[in-house]
Structure 1
């Protein structure tokens, strides 16, 4: 299953340079279950506001943005 989500776009040093929308495999990388529904989440970093997607998985695994399998 594929889903488009907004994730932080960071440079090689870890500094945020914006938000990017990517297609990802919407299965938990730990157990293979379908991941939860996305919700917008707004945060502030270095005085700027960013809105990304977050979700909670029924399986209980916490999947971070950098753990997502991005589909090219």
Structure 2
């Protein structure tokens, strides 16, 4: 049975993250909704799925809303790393 877009599949979490591009030149801000593993990529402990909360910030004259969470293991998920994990999953490079 397929899951809805608001309910992540078991073993995953869906979050909104800030994307400032992958190149050296600043291209502005966009917010991406991505689905990644609910396990910490550093230690395989649980990610902070239960601590996801909204964070509003102002940049380039606009307001944006993204998600923040705290991993119980203490490892910090940088948005750029979460985006890279998502892109690897999309490319079929992640388990």
Shared fold (TM-score greater than 0.5)? yes
Greater share of residues in strand: 1
Bucket of the pairwise TM-score, normalised by the shorter protein:
0.7 to 0.9
Gaps of 5+ in 1: none
- TM-score by structure 1 length? 0.85
Which structure: larger Rg?
2
Q: Name the residue aligned to 1:18.
A: 30
Q: Following superposition, which runs of at least 4 residues in structure 1 exceed 3 angstroms of deviation?
A: none
CA-based RMSD of the aligned residues comes to 1.4
Gaps of 5+ in 2: 1-10, 91-95
- TM-score by structure 2 length? 0.67
Number of residue pairs matched by the alignment: 72
Greater share of residues in helix: 2
